[in-house]
Structure 1
Amino acid sequence: MTKSAQIKKESFQFLNKLKQNNHKDWMDEHKKEYLDSEKSLKLFYAEILKGLNKTDEIAKQKIFRINRDIRFSKDKTPYNVHRSVSWSRAGAQRRGGYYLRLEPGNSLMAGGFFVPEPADLLRIRKEFEMDASEIRKILNQKDFKKAFSGFNQAYRVKTAPKGFSKEDPNIDLIRLKSYFVQHTFTDEEVFAADFREKLLYHYSLLRPFYDYMSDVLTTDLNGESIL
């Protein structure tokens, strides 16, 4: 990876200044600084895409806009103070994707299934109701557990979803509304020369999880393909 494809400190310096001056006039005055930062970040994103495609098949890269949708928000500041990108896996047989958020003091990578559509959510819950041994084995694998510490717990029902027993031994998994993991990085880690390798390593840890979930979401409860 060339030095130009590393995350530059200038990108975070720009975001810090934007956080203190989150209005259109300031952004207009600093448009060149913004565009220079975006150009640098896109070189890094391209390196990650290349790395992911060595072990997976990526259908799409999405760079999230810096402009915020403020139509229904009480917060009317017009710009995000982070930069985010995601990579979607190719084909109906491959489920899951890769996410990266770059923000001073709050950078992270994540992967999994964030608020899946109702049919997928029910299928996942039914699978865990029937047998959660395989997903628990994945979650408890040494390197995976060290990197992620389990599913994010922010999105879940209070007791049990409709049609499921709160006494189910796997209710801790069934009550979740999202099934994703994340890992945070310090600014120093983000700027380091090995950040690309470290990020790709964390993405690689998701593959057993994705292989399992892809199998679940492309079959019925009898294991028959629905594709």
Structure 2
Amino acid sequence: MVRIPVSPRLIGAVLAFVVRLWHLTLRVERINTDVFTDPELRAKRPVIMLWHDEIFPLIPAHAGERMACVVSQSKDGEILTRVLESFGFMTVRGSSSRGGMRALIAAKRVMDEQGVGIIFTVDGPRGPRHKVKPGALFLARHAGSPIVPVRAVMSRAKVFHRAWDKFQLPWPFSRCTIIYGDPVFLPEPLDDPEEMRKQCEHLEQIMNSLGKNL
């Protein structure tokens, strides 16, 4: 049997179409959205912090908002890049495990040249789940940008328990609540590893507190 190779571009296009249709069935509510849309904050090119398992409803919810995303250099990352670009996002390739520093340099360049914020799944691409890695903090510190934590809480979702991140796919016609945290301005300096560790833990606590009562 002859296998016909399918390009990441084609897979990405099909997935983007499915995501658009799926999103139309969801009841999306936003909390504290004024923080995210504040022109003064957007001018500071914020670093948006997400959990990897919650990205599905966030992609179409923020289509066309002129931001860039850091995406891993894996094969899955190539497909995700195609999906994100179809929704109007810019992409920067790299992760903590592959091309990490190169990705941070490229992200900083995009922020400076395009005047946009950067989106990070801070526990990706391989985990540990819901543990903040220092890449986003390092970038925010050197770009002079605030960090904005964002969560997506799904009322009903299929959870892929075998995936490292326990990825969540909201069921059609379920409710998705997007919560925007207040911006976090990092202290100076963050060159000390112990201080960086404390700040990562502090941001984890903030992320875990968002939507806790929903």
TM > 0.5 fold call:
no
TM-score by length of 2: 0.26
Which structure carries more relative contact order (alpha carbon 8 Å, separation 6+)? 2
